[in-house]
């Protein structure tokens, strides 16, 4: 994953990718919370989350200079709102439930917020594919496949998280490679939602 994130960062600096500001800041925030859930649950593969959080932070920082748009659009605002709303739910679960029982529900809440953070990326990949580098996403899919074989023992969290990351990367890759060339979009753009 570090190689694919490093290459993606390179494409940002090279001007081939304009990352979603909201998505990468949300993913940084969520990676830290998911990592905490992993540690609480006793999962052994927390290093994967730590590397993810570090690279998400690097891309989030790059997005401040190289990201798409000057402000948050409607998709961004929805994603940020849901991510922020997940924090008190996460904290409440941590306080109410015993530590061992809270880990998976806390993880699930963060995965929902993580999924919502993909909305701006999916919308951009479909409507503005020129702002994403196809090769970077292909490398990401390959990295997830390699990671699948590198994990020695899988927990439920590992399966869900890696399945989601791999599925999302594959979906974006397919959008960038196979999307119709027509101007008609199945995913409304942020501008369309504003009107």
- What are 72-100's pLDDT values in tens digits? 677 677 777 877 787 788 778 778 877 66
Q: Where are the alpha helices (DSSP H) in 42-98?
A: 46-66, 74-96
DSSP structure string for 92-124:
HHHHHS-HHHHHHHHHHHHHHHHHHHHHHHHHH
Q: What percent of the chain has pLDDT over 70?
A: 82
Interatomic CA distance for residues 20 and 60, integer angstroms: 8
pLDDT score for 8:
92
Interatomic CA distance for residues 51 and 47, integer angstroms: 6
Q: Is the full-model pTM beyond 0.85?
A: no
3-state secondary structure of 50: helix
3-state secondary structure of 89: helix
For residue 42, what are its two tokens?
């006793």
pLDDT in tens, 41-84: 666 667 777 887 898 899 999 998 998 866 667 767 777 787 77
For residue 34, what are its two tokens?
């998911």
> Is the CB of residue 33 less than 8 Å from the CB of residue 90?
yes
Residues 6+ apart with CB under 8 A from 10: none
Instruction: Please state the separation of Cα 34 from the chain's center in Å.
Output: 12
Does residue 14 register a pLDDT over 90? yes
């Amino acid at each position: 994953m570090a190689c694919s994130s490093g290459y993606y960062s390179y494409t940002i600096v090279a001007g081939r990718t304009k990352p979603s500001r909201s998505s990468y800041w949300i993913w940084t925030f969520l990676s830290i919370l998911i990592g905490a859930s992993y540690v609480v649950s006793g999962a052994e593969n927390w290093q994967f989350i730590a590397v993810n959080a570090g690279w998400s932070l690097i891309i989030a920082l790059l997005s401040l200079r190289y990201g798409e748009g000057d402000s948050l659009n409607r998709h961004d605002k929805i994603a940020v709102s849901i991510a922020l709303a997940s924090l008190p739910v996460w904290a409440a679960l941590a306080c109410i439930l015993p530590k061992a029982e809270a880990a998976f529900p806390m993880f699930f809440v963060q995965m929902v917020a993580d999924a919502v953070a993909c909305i701006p990326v999916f919308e951009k990949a479909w409507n503005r594919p020129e702002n994403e580098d196809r090769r970077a996403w292909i490398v990401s899919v390959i990295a997830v496949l390699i990671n699948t074989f590198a994990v020695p023992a899988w927990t439920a969290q590992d399966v869900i998280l890696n399945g989601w990351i791999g599925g999302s990367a594959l979906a974006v890759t397919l959008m960038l490679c196979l999307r119709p060339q027509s101007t008609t979009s199945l995913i409304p753009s942020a501008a369309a939602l504003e009107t």
